[in-house]
């Protein structure tokens, strides 16, 4: 057993050694990894003392200066800001360091913080959606202004049209997301006085018609292969198998899966609570095969952690899996099953298509998929070839 007392500590962080060590152990770090992180914390504490800094003086600039010093000293590991994330998260958790102490260094960072507050306060968007909008805003600033400080007041309609034209080489759905993000950013810039007029009206529309596409779904043999494959002895594989089964059987979105909590599972009633778009909650039946796989994961695969989220990272620190982590898990499962095309959302389309093949009506499918309007579900009528066949008229004989 590694003793944290074996790590020499001096400086302002010395009083937090035992608490930090306990936090690392509770998050599932191996003794060796925990000791390495403790060594980095000890080095940081010595550096703070040598420069006359207290814990309250921590900021992004201080962290960057320390890491530069560490590189100059010849260290070859733990040289990125992530090396101090466990320590800083612990200090924030006990109230010693607040996030506001970390100074936003650049104009774009300041604007993005203001934009995120606007989206949360005025638009009432979820955290994940806000992150997507702010990531897009950073990308747009980089494409338009490069490394220079953004001059939003110099934006012109031609700049906007050029950006949309450049993005139009991708899929229609991708372009629609980009255009939506661009309009949101431009409205914010106008409302907050960064640009003199509302340029959102200058954003070109993307040509894409409702119900014009066919939903992609897996074939029955692909579904069987996907649910069958995987080594259940691996913690990550067991978790990924449950995620795939949930999405195939119930048509859950990646965000729905990431948001699941232990208290959402009603084992006696055989139901589960799903928190979907718009912070809406729905109760869905928990199929027997899904419940069996889920119970096995919770008993033998899920790491012990403080969080109540169902699905966790497979490596320390054991935190909740994010929606992007769910997408990655599905991608791995598809590749392992030899399915080259499609992503996480194809499983949702597969769930709807399978329900349709087994005789479910569109309103029933809309209820399971939690569509606000049954019109959204109408796209799946296009893949009901058996029903469509009864509508097909015979070709007139003798027609030229």
Active-site choice (29, 90, 318, 380): 380
The sheet carrying 271-275 orders its strands as 265-266, 271-275, 281-285
Helix (H, G, I), strand (E, B) or coil at 266: strand
Question: Which residue reads 């074996």 in tokens?
Answer: 6
Q: Is 277 a catalytic residue?
A: yes
> How many other CB atoms sit within 10 Å of the CB of residue 261?
15
- Are 345 and 217 a contacting pair, CB within 8 Å? no
Catalytic residue among 123, 142, 277, 292: 277
Give catalytic status of residue 99 as yes or no: no
Question: Which DSSP string do the residues of 282-345 spell out, in sequence order?
Answer: EEEE--HHHHHHHHHHHHHTSPP-S--BS-B-SSSS--BPPHHHHHHHHHHHHHHTT--S--HH
Whether 371 is a known active-site residue: answer yes
Max intra-chain CA distance, the chain = 96
The structure tokens listed for 259 are 């948001």
The answer to whether residue 349 is catalytic is: no
Catalytic option among 253, 309, 313, 349: 253
Q: Which of 194, 348, 349, 370 is catalytic?
A: 348
Residue 309 falls in the annotated catalytic set: no
Kindly give, in sequence order, each residue whose CB lies less than 8 Å from that of residue 388, ignoring residues fewer than 6 positions away.
381, 382
Count of all residues that appear for the chain in the document: 400
| Measured distance CA(348)–CA(358) in Å, rounded | 16
- Given the residues 138, 144, 345, 367, select the one marked as catalytic: 345
- Catalytic residue IDs: 253, 277, 345, 348, 371, 380
């Amino acid at each position: 057993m590694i003793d944290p007392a074996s790590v020499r500590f001096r400086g302002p962080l010395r009083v937090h050694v035992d608490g930090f060590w306990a936090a690392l152990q509770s998050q599932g770090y191996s003794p060796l990894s925990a000791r390495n992180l403790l060594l980095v914390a000890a080095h940081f504490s010595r550096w703070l003392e040598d420069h006359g800094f207290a814990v309250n003086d921590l900021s992004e600039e201080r962290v960057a200066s320390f890491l530069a010093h560490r590189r100059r000293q010849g260290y070859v590991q733990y040289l990125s800001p992530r090396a101090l994330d466990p320590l800083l998260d612990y200090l924030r958790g006990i109230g010693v360091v607040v996030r506001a102490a970390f100074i936003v260094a650049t104009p774009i960072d300041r604007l993005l913080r203001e934009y995120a507050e606007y989206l949360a306060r005025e638009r009432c968007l979820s955290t994940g959606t806000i992150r997507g909008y702010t990531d897009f805003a950073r990308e747009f600033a980089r494409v338009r202004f490069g490394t220079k400080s953004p001059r939003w007041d110099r934006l012109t309609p031609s700049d906007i049209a050029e950006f949309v034209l450049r993005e139009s080489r991708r899929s229609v759905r991708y372009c629609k997301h980009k255009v939506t993000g661009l309009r949101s950013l431009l409205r914010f810039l106008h409302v907050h006085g960064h640009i003199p007029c509302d340029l959102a009206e200058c954003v070109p529309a993307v040509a894409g018609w409702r119900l014009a596409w066919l939903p992609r779904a897996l074939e029955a043999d692909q579904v069987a292969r996907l649910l069958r494959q995987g080594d259940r002895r691996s913690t990550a594989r067991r978790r990924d198998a449950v995620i795939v089964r949930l999405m195939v059987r119930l048509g859950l979105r990646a965000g729905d899966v990431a948001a699941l909590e232990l208290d959402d599972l009603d084992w006696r009633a055989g139901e589960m609570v799903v928190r979907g778009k718009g912070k809406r909650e729905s109760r869905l039946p928990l199929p027997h095969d899904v419940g069996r796989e889920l119970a096995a994961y919770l008993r033998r695969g899920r790491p012990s952690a403080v969080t109540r989220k169902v699905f966790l990272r497979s490596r320390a620190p054991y935190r909740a899996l994010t929606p992007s982590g769910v997408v990655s898990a599905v991608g791995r499962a598809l590749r392992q099953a030899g399915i080259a095309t499609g992503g996480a959302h194809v499983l949702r389309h597969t769930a709807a298509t399978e329900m349709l093949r087994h005789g479910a009506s569109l309103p029933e499918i809309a209820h399971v998929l939690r569509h606000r309007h049954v019109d959204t579900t109408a796209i799946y009528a296009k893949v009901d070839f058996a029903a469509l066949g009864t509508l097909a008229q015979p070709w007139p004989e003798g027609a030229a």
